[in-house]
Structures are given as structure tokens and as C-alpha cells.
């Protein structure tokens, strides 16, 4: 069974306070995208990697990965994560399965990647690593003029999970889902929160496997500091 990986790296890191390719910022001395591609290589189960980059940085991503000794096809992403993943899927060629991953989850352990692929090989069409949520989660209504938000409902935490990546799919299923919802991808507000959302919407069951705290998404400045500590401990 062949496995391709699409690593979304075309974001600009707004919440990190950046205005440029977040995937090129350094963590433990190496760009996030290099960490992400290395995890795929070290998993031993991925045959080919496609990386999405901001249009103006495609060459820089190619040079960065080549210098680090990794082979990957780099393509221009889009204005939303969904559009970037669609561009990556177009370039992924033929494979039985595809792993769709965030460059921002740079410390994802190879064992987690293997866990996702094992569940695909066992017959699941869509597999997502997930962790239980640790906070109580409440549904809120519209913000009031005094800045407060009204609570509408307290959700049952025991049946809530936080979704991570890589999310693994049968290649045909995820391509079908992305094509079906391509029109929405142009608008940030209407783009899908993750790829499993699109696959669910076309009717495929999604199976969860155990995620990892190391697969945290480096989104805000504190995440980067936590990731630096984790990388120092792992190394």
C-alpha cells in the first residue's frame, strides 16, 4: 500500500505575530517544515511528501528542504488552509492513502504517523489522531455590549476530543470531498476547519486514534516556547 503526505505550510503565522512563512521559523535550530518532513521520513511508512508554501516562497522552501537532505515536491498554497491542501492533493499523484498534516505540528512523533497508517491499512477510510479535552467547554451566544458572552450550554466533556494531524484518508475519498467543497475554499469564513470535516460531510465514517501532546499546533507565542522546551527534552 502506498502512502503520500501533504504538509500544509503556506500559512503566515498571524497569531504568532508574523507576516511571513511560519513554516520557516526555527525550532531547536531548524525550520518547522524540516521537522515536519523529517517525522514523515522517520516514520518509515510514507513514500512521498508534497509541501505547500506561500506562492512567493516556493523556491526558498525547496532550497531549505534540499539543504536539510530531504526530497519533497513543493507547490504554491492558497489563501486558506483548505485551498492549500487542495493544491497539495492535486500534486500528490497516485497513492492508496494520503496523510494531511500541518507543518505547525512540527514535533509530531513518527509513532503517531505509523498509528494513523495502521488504522488506514486496517480498513478505515478516514483516521484522525485526537486527545481528550482538559477544560470544560461551553457553547456561547453573541457578545454583549459590555464585552461579556452569555453561556448557552455546557457540553459533555467526556465525549469531546481535540483533533490533531496527520489526518489519514483513502486518497479517492478525500479527493472527492475536496472537489465537492472546492467552491467554499475561497472564503476564510466558510473554509473547512479540518479535512475530516469535508470527508464527514460526504458521508464517510471517521475513526479516531490516540493523539500525542507532542503533536501540539504551534499557533501562538506560548506554543512556540512550549515546543522549544519539548524539543530540548526530546533531543
Ligand X SMILES: Nc1ccn([C@@H]2O[C@H](COP(=O)(O)OP(=O)(O)OP(=O)(O)O)[C@@H](O)[C@H]2O)c(=O)n1
Under the rule (CB under 6 A), what is the footprint of ligand X? 8-16, 22-23, 52, 77-81, 84, 102-104, 217, 219
- Alpha helix (H) ranges present in the chain? 32-43, 58-67, 81-90, 110-121, 171-180, 195-201, 221-234
Cell of 32: 518547522
- Decide: is 194 part of the binding site for ligand LQXTBERG (CB under 6 A): yes
Query: Of ligand LQXTBERG, ligand X, none, which one does residue 163 interact with (CB within 5 to 8 Å by kind)?
Result: ligand LQXTBERG
- Decide: is 175 part of the binding site for ligand LQXTBERG (CB under 6 A): no
- Decide: is 69 part of the binding site for ligand LQXTBERG (CB under 6 A): no
Distances (CA, A) of 155 to 24, 133, 152, 169: 37, 11, 10, 28
Query: Of ligand X, ligand LQXTBERG, none, which one does residue 191 interact with (CB within 5 to 8 Å by kind)?
Result: none
Least distance from ligand X to the Cβ atom of residue 216, Å:
11
Any idea what the Cα angle at residue 85 is, between residues 34 and 210, rounded to 5°? 70
SS3 content of the chain, % helix, strand, coil (to 5): 40, 20, 35
Q: Give contact residues for ligand LQXTBERG (rule: CB under 6 A).
A: 81, 102, 163-165, 193-194, 217, 219
Amino acid at each position: 500500500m502506498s502512502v503520500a503526505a501533504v504538509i500544509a505550510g503556506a500559512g503566515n503565522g498571524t497569531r504568532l505575530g508574523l507576516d511571513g512563512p511560519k513554516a520557516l521559523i526555527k525550532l531547536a535550530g531548524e525550520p518547522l517544515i524540516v521537522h515536519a518532513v523529517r517525522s514523515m521520513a522517520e516514520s518509515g511508512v510514507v513514500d512521498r511528501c508534497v509541501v505547500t508554501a506561500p506562492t512567493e516562497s516556493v523556491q526558498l522552501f525547496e532550497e531549505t528542504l534540499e539543504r536539510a537532505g530531504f526530497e519533497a515536491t513543493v507547490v504554491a498554497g492558497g489563501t486558506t488552509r483548505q485551498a492549500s491542501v487542495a493544491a497539495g492533493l492535486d500534486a500528490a499523484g497516485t497513492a492508496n492513502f494520503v496523510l494531511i498534516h500541518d507543518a505547525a505540528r512540527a514535533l509530531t512523533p513518527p509513532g503517531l504517523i505509523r498509528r494513523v497508517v495502521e488504522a488506514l491499512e486496517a480498513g478505515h477510510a478516514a483516521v484522525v489522531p485526537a486527545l481528550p479535552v482538559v477544560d470544560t467547554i461551553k457553547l456561547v451566544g453573541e457578545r454583549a455590549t459590555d464585552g461579556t458572552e452569555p453561556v448557552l450550554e455546557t457540553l459533555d466533556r467526556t465525549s469531546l476530543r481535540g483533533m490533531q494531524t496527520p489526518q489519514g484518508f483513502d486518497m479517492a475519498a478525500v479527493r472527492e470531498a475536496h472537489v465537492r467543497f472546492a467552491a467554499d475554499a475561497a472564503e476564510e469564513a466558510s473554509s473547512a476547519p479540518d479535512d475530516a470535516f469535508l470527508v464527514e460531510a460526504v458521508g464517510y465514517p471517521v475513526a479516531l486514534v490516540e493523539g500525542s501532546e507532542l503533536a501540539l499546533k504551534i499557533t501562538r507565542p506560548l506554543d512556540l516556547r512550549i515546543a522549544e522546551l519539548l524539543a530540548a527534552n526530546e533531543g
